[in-house]
Structure 1
Amino acid sequence: MDQCRCGELATLTDGKPGVIRKGYLTHDSGQLHYRCCGDESLPLLILLHQTPSSSAMYLRLMPLLAPHFFVLAVDTPGFGNSDPLPADVSIATFAEVIFKAVSRTFDRPVLVFGHHTGAAIAVQLAFDQPEFVRALALSGPTLLTEAQKEALPSAAQAVSLDEKGSHWQEMWQRLRAKDPEADLALTLRETLLAFTCGDYYEASYRAVAEQDVARQMATIQCPTLVFAGGRDLLRSAVVPSVRLLPQGREAALPEEAGTYVCDRQPDAVADLLRQFFLEIVEAG
């Protein structure tokens, strides 16, 4: 067991599966920050976040899954508290780093859930490491149209800093527009994370646009659940994704659910994931 994990996981068997702990996993070019909860002996479920968020977006979801899974939510390299990559950003490199960091510490197959950019990384993981990924769940799959691919990077262009602080207002409005009804604290968290990740905001969107996700989906053989909320801009990609995936199946989220569904409707997401992943586990 890695030394960096011992203190973080020591209290996870004290009968409190919803207690969230934090720590770091090592990989070739740095450290990967994570949050975890649940008993480590349970099936391992990895959660992958959207851009420009971090594993903090899963704080409400994780305790709902912890009675059945050992839940590990990681910060993608360059986001949250994870070290950035030493080379160019790509979905393939994100997936490689996460695979190496997790597999070195937990030598067993995993269940994977990804939301938006996290869904892109989840697909890449299953494509590159089919023996590692037992099953996938994708919220807001990134099977983009050509118009979406062209527009995506510009939606995350860097905001220039100025002495009057107008950059705060510009970034706030950008993140607030994703869900004007979200709690102000949620928008504040995302605004701070957007500044923290710097150039990785735009770079990760460009990486999503460049990924050949259609080709990858068509080859993935593991069971895959695909869904999106009624207000999710990627909802239109759900049915085409299911058609591409050899073992794809569709599920539904509330019509009012959008990009922050894991924060705002965690019970609905947990219900879908719990039912799907437990079916996979019970089937062996």
Structure 2
Amino acid sequence: MIRRGYLDFGNGQLHYRYCGKESAPLLLMLHQTPSSSAMYLRLMPMLSENFFVVAVDTPGFGGSDPLAGDVTIEAFAAAIYQAVSAAFDQPALVFGHHTGAAIAVQLAYDQPEFVRALALSGPTLLTEAQKRALPSAARAFPIDDSGSHWQNMWQRLRGKDPEADLSLSVRETLLAFTCGDYYEASYRAVVEQDVVLQMAAINCPALVCAGGRDLLNSAVAPSVELLPQGRSAALPAEAGTYVCDRHPEAVADVLRQFFLEVAQTG
């Protein structure tokens, strides 16, 4: 069973989902923008036999309160670290997808004693063209009486994977409106992060992967080269940005093998 709760950070609360035995190795899961920990609902039970799985809503997303100050990847990581480390007295195996991968890198860079190992799906080692385009891809739509903003947001989120279940697109569209300005702000934060410097300084085991249709698939190989203990793994060729929703078995297999190896070697 997946349960839910809240953890404190600063002046706010972090909403999270969890399953498995708390005595097992802690596996922290970080979501993409503009989603929430709901994107891991299918994946979490598949890993709960081996890990204590904790999936948080990034501040300002899902059920979590926003940050008190500026929106940066560093601030996201600091809030999550404060909340999770205070509640669970053990280091973490950390998995992040897209924006969650950016936060995972920041966590490993800032808190090396906390992050035992790192797995990144769709790493945010962006090209200059991607950096220029990313914030505008999350720009808010003006609200009007006709409701055109709903249609525009639906088309944006549906366009990420037109073959996904309609319920998935509905969830993501609602979450995009729920996070408000944090949609665009988080993308700007990703662009501003010095991920090259951070990856090169991370010394824990690191696994990098992406679906074959993921727009960040091209960042896998250069990320592995940057990470001192980097390695890659394959995800389905037909998988895109919703790989954790649509191919949870494949993601679970990759994560289980990697993180169990880390846990067993200490």
Extract structure 1 runs of 4+ deviating beyond 2 A.
none
- Asked whether 1:56 is paired with 2:35, we answer no
- Give the gaps of 5 or more residues in structure 1: 1-18
2:240 alignment counterpart: 258
How far residue 86 of structure 1 moved from its aligned partner, in angstroms, is: 1.2
Per-residue CA deviations over 1:196-217 (Å, capped at 9, x if unaligned) read: 0000000000000000001000
Letter in 1 for 2:115: V
Aligned residue for 2:113? 131
Q: Deviations over 1:159-211 (max 9, x none)?
A: 11111111110000000010000000000000000000000000000000000
Whether 1:168 and 2:150 are equivalent positions in the alignment is: yes
Please name the residue that 2:27 is paired with.
Answer: 45
CA distance in 1, matches of 2:68, 2:106: 20
Distance 2:69 2:142 in 1: 24
SS in 1 for 2:207: strand
Among 49, 52, 58, the alignment partner of 1:67 is 49
Alignment partner, residue 128 of structure 2? 146
> What is the one-letter code of the residue matched to 1:246?
P
**CA RMSD between the two structures:** 0.4
Give, in whole Å, the separation in 1 of the partners of 2:89 and 2:256. 23
Q: Structure 1-normalised TM-score?
A: 0.93
Q: Name 1:102's counterpart in structure 2.
A: 84
1:42 deviates by: 0.3
Q: 2:264: which partner in 1?
A: 282
CA deviation string 1:63-116 (max 9, x = no partner) = 000000000000000000000011110000000000000011112110000000
Total equivalences in the alignment: 266
| 2:163 aligned residue (161, 181, 184) | 181
After superposition, residues 171-210 of structure 1 pair within 5 angstroms as 171-210=153-192
Structure 2, unpaired ranges of 5+: none
Supply the distance in 2 between the matched residues of 1:235 and 1:27 (Cα, whole angstroms). 33
- Kindly indicate whether residue 252 of structure 2 is the aligned counterpart of residue 270 of structure 1: yes
Trace 1:14-53 onto structure 2 (pairs within 5 A).
19-53=1-35
TM-score, L = length of structure 2: 1.00
**Identity across matched positions, percent:** 77
What's the CA shift for 1:218?
Answer: 0.1
